[in-house]
Amino acid sequence: MKPVAVKSAAWTPARVVATLGGIGYVRPAPGTWAAAFVLPLAWLGPLPCLGLAVLLMLAGFWAVRRLSREGAERDPGWVVVDEAAGQLLALAAIPAGAPWLWVVLAFALFRFFDILKWGPVGWADRRKGFFWVVVDDLIAGAMAAAALLALRAALLPEGLF
């Protein structure tokens, strides 16, 4: 993969946020590394994961907008704050203290929807503008969360775990 051409490759605050402190430059599959990076946060429980997803979403909107002004391409692979936000959204469907298998399933489902870009994920991914760079991953996270909640309801109708 060749380096991304931008006006300035300096470590600006926007670049630090967008890359999650450099995780976006890890190869191969920087989005997968970013999603894996936030997995331990699942044990905080659903509300903290949801709050952190919102925080990273807002930070992602700011960073991507700022980077687009600096000349970054439309959706550079090194921007991974959106993958972390989407993964946290999926993790919000898991109760605190859930067995690790549910965390692995949340990871697999999020990456499945994010990579395949089915339905609304693909639709959002094809839109132009900084807003959509982040939103497609949030939709993938929401789809993963919905699948997890449906699975939990089907397998565990009397309780969470």
Give 8-48 as a DSSP string.
--S--HHHHHHTTTTGGG-SS-HHHHHHHHTGGGGGG-HHH
pLDDT digits (tens, 9 = 90+) for 107-145: 999 999 999 998 999 999 888 887 888 999 999 999 999
pLDDT at 150: 94
CA gap 127, 143 in Å, rounded: 19
Is the residue at 160 inside a domain? no
Is the residue at 126 inside a domain? yes
Residue 101: which residues within 8 A CB-CB, separation 6 or more?
none
Residue 151 is given by DSSP the state H
pLDDT digits (tens, 9 = 90+) for 32-69: 999 999 999 999 999 999 999 999 999 999 999 988 87
pLDDT at 159: 56
**What sign has the CA pseudo-torsion 96, 101, 103, 109?**
negative
Q: What is the b/e burial string over 106-126, where b = at least 16 CB atoms within 10 angstroms of the residue's CB?
A: bbebbbebbeebeeebeebbe
pLDDT at 80: 96
pLDDT at 137: 96
pLDDT digits (tens, 9 = 90+) for 7-42: 446 789 999 999 999 999 999 999 999 999 999 999
pLDDT at 77: 86
CA gap 92, 42 in Å, rounded: 7
Is the residue at 8 inside a domain? no
Model confidence at 161: pLDDT above 60: no
pTM of the model: 0.87
Q: What is the b/e burial string over 33-63, where b = at least 16 CB atoms within 10 angstroms of the residue's CB?
A: bbbbbbbebbeebbebbbebbeebbebbbbb
pLDDT at 1: 46
pLDDT at 158: 64
| Residue 109 domain boundaries | 13-155
Model confidence at 2: pLDDT above 90: no
Question: Predicted confidence band at 100 (pLDDT cuts at 50, 70, 90)?
Answer: very high
Q: Is-contact 130 65, C-beta < 8 A?
A: yes
Is the residue at 6 inside a domain? no
- As for how many domains the chain has, the answer is 1
Give 98-111 as a DSSP string.
--HHHHHHHHHHHH
